[in-house]
Amino acid sequence: MDVPPPPARLASRGPAVVALAVAALIVSAMGWLERVDHLILDSAWRAIREIGPSPAAVEVVVVGIDEATVRAIPEPPGLWHDSLARVLARIAAAKPRAIGLDIPLPDRSFDHLRPGLDRTLMLGLAAARQGAPLVASLGVDPASRGVRRIHAPLLAVLQEERLGIGLIARDADGSARRFSIALPTEDGAFPTFAGRLCRALSKRCTDGLIDFGRGPPVRVVAFQSILGMNDLAALEAIFRDRVVLVGETSTYGNRIPVPINLAETESRSAPSSPIVVHALALRTALGEAPQEASRPLAMLLGSLPALLLLLRRPAAFAASAVSCAIALGVVTVVTLRQGLAVPVATAGVTLALASLLVAFEAARVRSGNGTR
């Protein structure tokens, strides 16, 4: 028989409720469970992918520079003027919606090695610029934190309105989960790579969390395969009316941990190449980017499970605690799918502590009854 606790013992729960709620508010305000919330968020994205992704506003195709491409081109990457110019011209001829270039452009002339290299690359950039909106990423030197220099004639073709900072935001654990349209500078703000591309395509661009539950896996086409492709119809089948991003996809290059690797040809659990992260950020920016819940809402949610201590019957508490735990998981997935990331780690810890307090109290009652 489920016997309610004596009134005196029930009344003693009042201070425990207040203490637990205040502790939850402090933990939430200080962000001590941020990494746990990130792990829960990652699990929610994976659940949404299993349920079924929502449609993307635009399809993005990545032209990837992989190990096979590096082996196939005889020149070192710094001298790929001719190869890059040909690839850009072929992509532009296929009438894409936009072109993004996330590879380091030369910072000086190499005409002394082969006359005409500068002009060749300038013509390739000009062809890409005329065929569709073109954006090139600006690399940032980690030592000086200044943008890397681009050779002046190439910069003259691009001009400032076709440049975007290529940095990718990372959380404390090193993973990429969010993006920005622009980054603060001494002169105000400067668009990011994804932000500049978004603004070239839409008047409505929002930053926030990268939506790993939107769109199909990103198609990746090898850079070298485009070099050997002369059929315009085949090129249009790949690129027409799509955003095309050119960047490194080598498995031995720079890799970034992500909740889900959405490159079509790679394992979902593997770190992602930066160009694929840029692709996900762009197609998120062109839609409604998920936002994080406000701090007051997170603090309130974290403290609410403390109220379960007011339930008189242990069975009622147990049923409510189980329902609350299930509800936290459902709320996380449902609200995230609707565009709001609600942190629930603090609420989960509060629920666990409340359960321990009730279990400890029940054990004391049984112990007291056994000694009578």
Name the band, by pLDDT with cuts 50, 70 and 90, for residue 372: low
This prediction has a pTM of 0.90
Tell me 57's DSSP state: S
pLDDT of residue 207: 92
pLDDT of residue 268: 95
In three-state secondary structure terms, 179 is: strand
pLDDT of residue 371: 56
Instruction: Report, as an integer, the average pLDDT of 63-80.
Output: 94
Q: What is the pLDDT of residues 299-350, one digit of tens each?
A: 999 999 999 988 878 889 999 999 999 999 999 999 999 999 999 999 999 9
**Can you tell me the distance from the alpha carbon of 236 to that of 90, in angstroms, rounded to the nearest whole number?**
9
In three-state secondary structure terms, 257 is: coil
Q: What is the pLDDT of residues 147-164, one digit of tens each?
A: 889 999 999 999 999 999
Tokens (6 digits) for 345:
């780690």
In three-state secondary structure terms, 109 is: coil
Name the band, by pLDDT with cuts 50, 70 and 90, for residue 12: low
Q: Which residue has the higher pLDDT, 216 or 358?
A: 216
**Can you tell me the distance from the alpha carbon of 245 to that of 248, in angstroms, rounded to the nearest whole number?**
10
Instruction: Report, as an integer, the average pLDDT of 256-268.
Output: 95
pLDDT of residue 1: 47
Q: Say whether pLDDT at 99 is over 70.
A: yes
pLDDT of residue 369: 67
Name the band, by pLDDT with cuts 50, 70 and 90, for residue 360: confident
Average predicted confidence (pLDDT) for the chain? 91
Q: Say whether pLDDT at 3 is over 80.
A: no
Q: Say whether pLDDT at 213 is over 70.
A: yes
**Can you tell me the distance from the alpha carbon of 350 to that of 216, in angstroms, rounded to the nearest whole number?**
37
* Cα-trace Rg, the chain: 27
pLDDT of residue 185: 82
Query: Residue 145 — left, alpha, or beta (φ > 0 → left; ψ -120 to 50 → alpha)?
Result: left
pLDDT of residue 13: 75
In sequence order, what are the beta bridge partners of 54? 214
Determine what percent of the chain falls in helix, strand and coil, rounding each to the nearest 5: 50, 15, 35
Q: Say whether pLDDT at 79 is over 70.
A: yes
**Can you tell me the distance from the alpha carbon of 303 to that of 318, in angstroms, rounded to the nearest whole number?**
18
Instruction: Report, as an integer, the average pLDDT of 8-21.
Output: 73
pLDDT of residue 358: 87
**Which percentage of the chain shows pLDDT scores above 90?**
75
